[in-house]
Structure 1
Amino acid sequence: MTDLVSLKVDRAGAVAEVTLLGPSKGNAMGPDFWRELPLVFSELDADPQVRAIVLTGGGANFSYGLDLPAMMGGWAPMLSGDALAGPRTEFLKEIRKLQASVSAVADCRTPVIAAVSGWCIGGGVDVIAAVDVRLASADAKFSVREAKVAIVADLGSLQRLAGIIGEGHLRELALTGKDIDAARAEKIGLVNDVYPDQEAVLAAARALAGEIAANPPLVVQGVKDVLALNTSQRITDGLRYVSSWNAAFLPSKDLGEAVQAFLERRQPDFKGE
């Protein structure tokens, strides 16, 4: 796999390791990331020599989430207050394209283990919600932060996390946009285990991937396929609904205020307009 900008892929025996690289600060997810993520996971999924995948972040953080400045430039005409059906339809396509990128992780027949250190915000949570097992280092912090930037989370957290942490915890995180630490994440089931530092969690993820890779690959794929039956239709329906909802209602003065406040590094003043 060559010419990647936002991701790096390494292999050790039957285990592949995918590392988020940015290039924006904190591995923020810009156009390169959304283009490359499905390509990488599609190629790994098709490789019979790869029997488990570790997903982690380069540097101190897993991901700051959506790279708003990089993404908003192309979306601006679609999100203006007077955008009609044409621009909103184009924005619907954009949302569904990003959803498909995350779903490429969930749909991968090869088990994926996330090793999370530092911040995992917004789109970062969408991505780890799509993996099979999540592990964290003690310094990890998580936030379903979209509500704080006037966005209804639309890339899978609202659809996938209910089955992982339960409705009550999901509603608290999504409605407040609050940050939680690794200890709270473990308590609510967002991560399976917490390790002392980044080196330790990565070692644990690699060991778990090796344990999975030693099992019969067709059986492992069968387990994933059977488990997916429990939630796949609900997730698909939920993603379609939220993409339509955001295409219709996301353009707002509050969204513009959120972006401006982000760029000016100040608290937004939301008016409900």
Structure 2
Amino acid sequence: MTATADSLPDLVSLKVDVDGHVAEVTLLGPSKGNAMGPDFWRELPLVFRALDADPQVRAVVLTGSGKHFSYGLDLPAMMGDWAPMLGGDSLAGPRTAFLDQVRSLQAAVSSIAECRKPVVAAVSGWCIGGGVDVVAAADVRLASADAKFSVREVRVAIVADLGSLQRLASIIGEGHLRELALTGKDVDAARAEKIGLVNDVYEDQDALLKAARELAGEMAANPPLVVQGTKQVLAANTERQVADGLRYVAAWNSAFLPSKDLGEAVQAFMERREPRFTGE
């Protein structure tokens, strides 16, 4: 039997609350800044598939606990499992295992986009890397004035592979996406609103959450099957292109991600210094 919001198992990285017809999903970490470790990637699809199946839920608010939405992928927590797959002399077996890992993470993010209930992302503080992948899969993004966004993978020697490069072009346009993805720069809430990454910016986190809940409530007040149908019809405009892009980048990273620059990026992160990339 498919889980509903009420029957979800105990969660470590996410909290789900339902008020009327609106579910609120909150990132909990447990890593600093709600960084996304193994628990998050395991629980995210469980939660969104349950919300999709729950007839009580008609709209979803997705937000982060504390001051920040998410610092993105928890590299130290994930690299332990990935290290054997990313060795410089890895052959077909380890690389195939890494391909499976990437596809699993992609499916977790895609569970948000595939949820038939509309999802409103409410972003405060930092939203980095995997955090941007997650909010790009939502239907609408709102931010508080202190929000900052970064498609930062390029700065740690990774081709972003969980959805930002596939979904953001239809949200912010190809030119803005290329600027963000090729520089890894940070953009504040004002710039995010200007380029269409977020619909509106609010004074603080309290005002943001109030607005997100109200917007989700407006969606939930409409005929639920029509809302779900509208979301699915809108998805048909881009879903094939997104799926093709995700398959391509998963294959690309399984072949080309292992590098001296990636090792240097991880080492520099652990040593809290600027990396020295050599193109190897």
TM range (shorter): over 0.9
Match of 1:92 in 2: 99
Deviation at 1:94, TM superposition (A): 0.2
Distance (whole Å) between structure 2 residues aligned to residue 255 and residue 19 of structure 1: 31
CA distance in 2, matches of 1:222, 1:73: 42
* Structure-2 separation of matches of 1:186 and 1:258: 30
2:140 & 2:243 partners in 1: Cα distance? 20
Residue in structure 2 matched with residue 22 of structure 1 by the alignment = 29
1:226-264: CA deviation from partner (whole Å, max 9, x where unpaired) = 101100000000000000000000000000000000000
Structure 1 distance, partners of 2:11, 2:203, is 31
Q: Does 2:214 align with 1:197?
A: no
User: Which ranges in structure 2 are unaligned for 5 or more consecutive residues?
Assistant: 1-7
- Identity of paired residues, percent? 81
Q: Report the alpha carbon displacement of residue 193 of structure 1 after superposing the two structures with TM.
A: 0.1
* Letter of the 1:113 counterpart: V
- Once the two structures are superposed, the pairs formed by residues 1-273 of structure 1 within 5 Å of their partners are 1-273=8-280
Q: Which whole-Å deviations, capped at 9, do the CAs of 1:168-209 have from their partners, x for residues lacking one?
A: 000000000000000000000000000000000000000001
Q: Distance in 2 between matches of 1:68 and 1:131?
A: 23
Helix, strand or coil at the partner of 1:255: helix
Secondary structure of the 2:23 match is: strand
Distance 2:249 2:10 in 1: 33
Distance 1:2 1:195 in 2: 34
Q: What is the CA–CA distance in structure 2 between the aligned matches of 1:120 and 1:229, rounded to whole Å? A: 27
Give the TM-score normalised by structure 2. Answer: 0.97
Using the alignment, how far apart are the partners of 1:49 and 1:9 within structure 2? 13
AA at the equivalent of 1:253: K
What is the alpha-carbon distance in structure 1 between the residues aligned to residue 20 and residue 192 of structure 2? 31
Q: Give the superposition deviation at 1:2.
A: 3.1
- Partner-residue secondary structure (3-state), 2:62: strand
The size of the alignment, in residue pairs, is 273
Amino acid in structure 1 at the alignment position of 2:77: A
1: CA distance, partners of 2:234 / 2:199: 18
Which stretches in structure 1 are left out of the alignment for 5+ residues?
none
Q: Which stretches of structure 1, 4 residues or more, deviate above 6 A after TM superposition?
A: none
